[in-house]
Amino acid sequence: MLRRNIRLRREYLYRKSLEGKERLLYEKKRKIREALEEGKPIPTELRNEEAALRQEIDLEDEQTAIPRSLIDDEYANAAEKDPKILLTTSRNPSQPLTQFVKELKFVFPNAERMNRGGQVVSEIVESCRSHDYTDVILVHEHRGVPDGLIISHLPFGPTAYFGLLNVVTRHDIKDKKAMGTMPEAYPHLIVNNFKTKLGERTATILKHLFPVPKPDTKRIITFANQSDYISFRHHLYEKHGGPQSIELKEIGPRFEMRLYQIKLGTMEQSEAQTEWVIRPYMNTSKKRKFLGD
Query: What pLDDT score does 170 carry?
Result: 85
- Say if residue 264's pLDDT is above 90: no
Cα–Cα distance between 23 and 255 in angstroms, integer? 39
Query: Is 61 exposed, middle or buried (CB count within 10 Å of its CB: 0-12, 13-18, 19+)?
Result: exposed
Strands (E), the chain: 85-89, 111-113, 135-142, 145-153, 159-168, 188-192, 219-226, 229-239, 246-250, 254-264, 273-277
SS3 label, residue 206: helix
SS3 label, residue 63: helix
pLDDT band at 282 (very low <50, low <70, confident <90, very high): low
Q: Which of 68-72, 151-155, 219-223 has the lowest mean pLDDT?
A: 68-72
β-pairing, 85-89 with 135-142? parallel
- Say if residue 177's pLDDT is above 80: no
Query: What pLDDT score does 199 carry?
Result: 92
Q: Name the nearest CA neighbour of 32 among 19, 21, 44.
A: 44
Query: What pLDDT score does 271 carry?
Result: 81
Cα–Cα distance between 130 and 125 in angstroms, integer? 9
**Rg of the chain over CA atoms, in angstroms?**
23
Beta partners for residue 238, in sequence order = 247
Torsion, Cα of 220, 112, 204, 275 (10° steps) = 140
Q: Which of 69-78, 119-128, 168-177 has the lowest mean pLDDT?
A: 69-78
pTM for this prediction: 0.79
Cα–Cα distance between 272 and 94 in angstroms, integer? 30
Cα–Cα distance between 260 and 280 in angstroms, integer? 9
Query: Is 216 exposed, middle or buried (CB count within 10 Å of its CB: 0-12, 13-18, 19+)?
Result: exposed
Q: Which helix (H) or strand (E) holds 102?
A: helix 95-107
**Ramachandran angles phi, psi of 113, nearest 5°:** -100, 135
Neighbours of 158 (CB within 10 A): 23
pLDDT band at 24 (very low <50, low <70, confident <90, very high): confident
